[in-house]
Structure 1
Amino acid sequence: MTGFLGQALIYVVPFLFVLTFIVTIHELGHFLVARAFGVKIDRFSIGFGKALLSRTDKRGVEWRLGWIPLGGYVKFSGDLDPSSVPDQKGLAELKSRVIAEHGPGAERDFFHFKPVWQRALIVFAGPAANFLLAAALFTVLFSVIGEQVVAPRVGAVTAGSPAASAGFKPQDLITAVNGRPVREASEVTGIVILSAGDPLRFTVQRGEQTVQLTATPQRQVETNEIAGTVRVARIGLVLAPLRQDFSFRRLNPIEAAGKGVTVIGDTVSSTFRYIGRIFVGKESGDLLNGPLGIAKAAGGVTKQATAVEAAPQVVAFYLALTLVQFAALVSIGMGVVNLLPIPVLDGGHLVFYGYEAVARRPVPARVQEVGYRVGLALLAGLMLFATWNDLQKLSLFKFLGGLA
């Protein structure tokens, strides 16, 4: 029992803490922009299901903490349609009911009767809040630890690997990939991981010479504490920088914010590239994570941070920085997922509002209903796929004959 409780503290508690924090910021984005536009709001809930805690403020907004801590929502007054985009008939019925209950003109305070650009901004504010949160966390992170650049120096080349066939040698310094300059080892790793089966042209500094080498990344199975068991593309290089390959500088808040924005841009770009490669069959989707995978990652970074041999206050500080970085990355992921053009997500609502802005009328109810059902099926399928990935990474299917 003690071991189980210890595992729960390491994996579940950090996951729920980070997820709740990020969801709260996401919903606050919707809430604050809606409040700025004068929208009447019934409820702000963190978590689903019955309320553990509930309080209604002087504006009539119920602030609720649900017992299922895996999401949250903002409920606008009159928001009865599951897709939150009623058609013309639904708007007429809602308007009649609002006027009958609250008097003429009261409908102007309801979300569905706001101009389409205001509704779009309210919906977009949730994902935007996630990106702003990530930017703020990265600003804090880079302000505290500064910027350390580790040059991509080759330490060893695996025999028989694509890198060996390409002619890489120890102490080679990679300066560009496919003509794109690289400064950090992490840049090279990121490019290789998303290029399985695609030849990559490396520009290498070898002593006084500049050499062009071509290697094609191949997938291999790897296991680590954070990601679990995954198949990732590698070319067979071990990057091991020399003393002169390290550089460090402290960043002021403006520089730290700029660095944070750059990291967000690179992360979003890599995410969409990875998703695109899944659709064209170039990636298996192994790196997609569901709740179990995120919880495992949260536990992994927690264990790594607390394994540092140092004074308790140093360990606590290192753990805090690690969770800040983890929360920033998860927040970016939540922002990206919510912008996908699936009707049950914010991105799907934005598609509906785009149609309304052009056609001057809401999307017909039948189209919305079909879109909602298809979107729900797509989202459920994505979650099942991600959860299957999570279970395989945790090696829970080994008894089935090596599926993991």
Structure 2
Amino acid sequence: MLIMATKLNKKLLKTLSAVLFSAVVFVGCNDFFGDKTDLSFIDLPEFTNRDIAYVPIQPAWDQFVYPTDICIGFDELLYVVDEATQQIIGLDESGREQGRFSVPGVTSVTQDRRFDLLACGTLDTVSASGDPITLACIYRIRLLNQNGQYGIRYARIVNKIIHPFYSRSNVNAQDLTVRFGKVAIMASDIPSQNNRYYVTRQGQGGSSILGPNDAVLIFSNTDQFETPISVSTSSGIFNNFFQKPSGIATYAVPPQIQASQERHFFYSSVDPANELKVQFIEYIETDFGAEFRPVIFPVGDTSRADGFLFEPNKFSKPSAIAVAGDNTRFLFVVDEEKDSLFQFTRDGFEGVLPPPATGRTKLEKASFGGTGNGLTQFNRPSGVGYYRRIVYVADSGNGRILRFRLTLDFN
């Protein structure tokens, strides 16, 4: 397939060159043929020297101001957060808008398996002394109305999880610094366990009882706070393991008839002091109880790959991550400061395995990026999603959603 694609690319280039050469010769003489024709309207295709690469799907969706997140729902629709307009925009796979719904301070959105949206935003209120304050809030948004109509046009808020009132009744100065980051869903065949979810939270300080405000929290499927996560390592148990957590992802994502019931998750940290800013946390049940443990991924085996998830300082500001719900199990990371999209295997190796016919067994790097507004460039990307072999990136600074597909996935 690669040989055929290479031949086609060479043939296309020769044909295109011949056409352009003929056009230039034909219009090259002002005196004989008249004024030169302006050929600037011809959109030359962009080619890559790599056999394996993510190529852009045009057009870019540019009907946004500052899109910060994109969610692919279990309802097979897409939901984009526009932080500038404080809206969630529903789209079909072609990019056609289905409607918009306003949520105060919204920055991210996820859909659970009941088709409810969970949006991280803010709530303006007043303190006990009457002063105006802004608190972090998770909004549960129902897309099915009382008449049985479904969609973002019929959305309504059915619950608000306001920090810190899910755990205590008083507000202190540190609570005003808290913001929720992103939500990841857990799946289970047990109804009481299905649709529980993780939430990343950032903020200054914390409490002696509930731990630091920088945390990953667990909520029930009825939006009841359960616990912050403590992580067990060879050095002990830490309730302050998560430093400035931002992105989070489980394998309970579409497309799946039956979602993965693993409670493991990837998370990203935007703490500049953290050398390993994307990690995999494993949930283990033993005879002595259950615990969360970090998984150590291999680094340095260049016979298998040229890049690794666990390279120290691999990332600068990995604001969002996503996993593939299909059999590839890929991990995607967008870095807001490096203006890049990174792709890894589930085992932490960077790259994609070439087709068996090539005889190559080493993964080939498919990560890409760079600062700009080209079709393979970004400006502060802060959201990423994956569905049906297409990677979606919320290119915040350029006000657009970009789509990419792996060259190996084109028939």
Q: Could you say whether these structures have the same fold, taking a TM-score greater than 0.5 normalized by the shorter chain as the test?
A: no
Higher fraction of strand: 2
Please, what TM-score do these two structures have when normalized by structure 1?
0.22
- RCO (CA 8 Å, sep 6+): is it higher in 1 or 2? 1
Higher fraction of helix: 1
